[in-house]
Every structure is written in C-alpha cells, then in structure tokens.
Amino acid sequence: MTTLDRLDRWKASGVISADQHVLLHSLVRHERFSVFVEISALLYIGVLAMVGGLVWTFREYVTSLGHAAILSAFGFLIAASLYYCFTRGGPYSHDEVESPSLAFDYVLYFGCLTFSAMLAYLETQMGVFRGWETHLLLASIVFGVLAYRFDSRFVLSLALSTLAGYLGLTFELFETIDTDRLRFYAMGYAIAIAALGFGLYRQGVKRHFLDVYIHLGANVFLLATVSGVTGGNGLLYLAFLLPLAGALIYLGVRFDRFAFVAYGTLYGYAGLSAQLLDVIGSPTASLAYLVVTGSVVVIALVVLARRFGRNT
C-alpha cells in the first residue's frame, strides 16, 4: 500500500480532513516546494545590480554632477539605510535575533554595498586613501560591526571576504611572494578565522555565526590546497588534500553536515582529476574521464543529499 493510498483511507475514515488530505497529497507528490532560497538569491542580486547601476551612473556623469553632489547622494543612501535598520531592528543580543521584516536584510546589504561603493569612489576619483588597502580594511571593519549589531550572516561573510582582500593587498602577495607562500598565507587566514569563530562561540557571542567562519575557512583552505596540485609540488599537495577531503566527508556524515560532504567530495575530485588529466594527456580520453567520473560524483552527491534530507 502506497502513502497516497493510506492518505485516501485516512480521509475516508475521518482521521484527516479534506483540506489536510489535499495538503499532504500535494506534499507526497512533490507538487509544492519552497523557492525561498531562489527568491532570496534573486533579491540579493537585484540589490547588487542596483548599487552597480548607481556606481556606473556616477562614474559616467562625475564631470557634470561634481564630487559634492555624488558624495551627498552616497551619504543620503547610507544614512537612510542605517536609519531604517536602527529604527526597525531590535536591541543587540549575543543570541540569535530574528529579522524584523523581509526587507530588513536587503536594506542592510544595500547600505553596506553603497558604503563600499562610496569608499571606492573616494579612492578612484579623489585618491583619499592612496591605496586600496585602507579602503578594504575600513569596509571590513564596518561590515563586521554591522553584521554583529544586526545579526546578519550574509554581511559577516562580506566582512570576512573583504578582510581577505585587504590582507592580500597589504602583503602584496601576488608580486613579492611566490605562489607556495601565497597558499600558506591563505591557509593561515583560513585557520585564523575558524579559530576566531570557535573563540567567539566559546564566549557565547553569536554562536550561530560559527557556521559562517567554518564554511568560509574550509573553502579558503581547500581552494589554496587544490591550487597547489598543478604546481611543482603537486603530488605533495595532493597527498595532503585527499586525507583532508576524506576527513571532511567522514565528519560531514558523522555530524549530519552535507555541505562538508560536498566540499570534501568536490575539492578532492578536483585535485585528483588535475593530476590524472596530466597523466592521461589525450583530449578524447580526458573528456571521457570527465564525463564518466563527473557523472558518478554528481549522482553520488544527489543520493547523499536525499539521505541527509530524510534524516533531518
């Protein structure tokens, strides 16, 4: 007897109402699904496009508008965004704070991007900071403060990413340091932000932010390791990457964190494939390898995702 048959029997016997039967029937047949993530992503992209449009407009008409008018427009938009957030948001708390409205996070995100755009304008048009390092450091500090004040994981990710950019420009890694040392600095940054996240977690400060620190740190560390697989010490990096990927997969399964299973699988597959494709050499054989193994990896991740979905 299928689940749909049981639902029909329960409706007939009066265990569930007609409305409940319609709802459960549609859920079992997967006729209804949430598009919250997709809509949120589109809204964030829309905010980014809006700020990009402002920057383009100001750049094109900087001569006719003048610095004072453009900076006043930036200042007004930033002040309006912050006014909305401070008047609508609740008081600060070390615990998780629910967003007061659907628009709140997007207004905060808009204000942060506009602030960053204003700093970029000050640097490119007026040379205020005499280098992008100060701009990025200031932006990362402001983003971090606002992320904790208004409990925004997305803005926290923006702050940590901007901080990474600041460190990269400060040490001028791409010009004065070889690629292996660049990777070691990236790994050190990943370890540092993960440690910071754990430290704040132990102090009881926004414990739900720990995932942001760990996810970003894991991706930076794995990306730095994978980038070394194709270099002169490729086998050494691969020997380090594969056990690390295996550990992530194991821990992801052990603690029901599918994202880390995906990280371990995808980064491990990318590193291993980079080495194998160099050995294979033939374009036809390489294409066949990517098609077959890529399909296997995708199918395996889909199966695991469904398993995780059933367990949650």
The tens digit of pLDDT for each residue in 19-66 reads: 776 666 666 555 444 444 445 555 556 666 777 777 677 666 666 777
Same domain, 137 and 197: no
- Would you say residue 176 lies in a domain? no
Mean pLDDT of all residues in the chain?
Answer: 81
Residue 169 pLDDT greater than 70, yes or no: no
More confident residue, 27 or 195: 195
3-state helix, strand, coil in the chain (%, to 5): 80, 0, 20
Quick one: DSSP state of residue 309? H
Same domain, 10 and 119: no
- Would you say residue 299 lies in a domain? yes
Q: How confident is the model at residue 38, as a pLDDT?
A: 47
Same domain, 122 and 215: no
- Of 277, 265, 178, residue with least CA distance to 222: 265
Same domain, 46 and 138: yes
Q: How confident is the model at residue 204, as a pLDDT?
A: 93
Q: How many domains does the chain have?
A: 4
Same domain, 76 and 153: yes
Same domain, 9 and 126: no
- Would you say residue 175 lies in a domain? no
Same domain, 221 and 234: no
Same domain, 187 and 144: no
Nearest 5°: phi and psi at 40?
A: -60, -45
CA–CA separation, 37 and 245 (whole Å): 27
Same domain, 190 and 247: no
**Alpha-helix runs per DSSP H in 171-282:** 173-176, 179-202, 210-227, 234-254, 258-280
Same domain, 185 and 304: no
- Would you say residue 121 lies in a domain? yes
- Would you say residue 290 lies in a domain? yes
Same domain, 238 and 213: no
For 163, counting Cβ atoms within 10 Å of its Cβ (0-12 exposed, 13-18 middle, 19+ buried), the class is buried
Are the C-beta atoms of 153 and 96 separated by less than 8 Å? Answer: no
Counting residues of the chain whose pLDDT is more than 70, the rounded percentage is 79
Quick one: DSSP state of residue 92? -
- Would you say residue 46 lies in a domain? yes
Which of 158, 192, 227 terminates a domain? The answer is 227
CA–CA separation, 255 and 234 (whole Å): 31
Q: How confident is the model at residue 3, as a pLDDT?
A: 67
CA–CA separation, 263 and 244 (whole Å): 10
- Would you say residue 82 lies in a domain? yes
Same domain, 57 and 138: yes
249: domain range? 230-312
Are the C-beta atoms of 78 and 86 separated by less than 8 Å? Answer: no
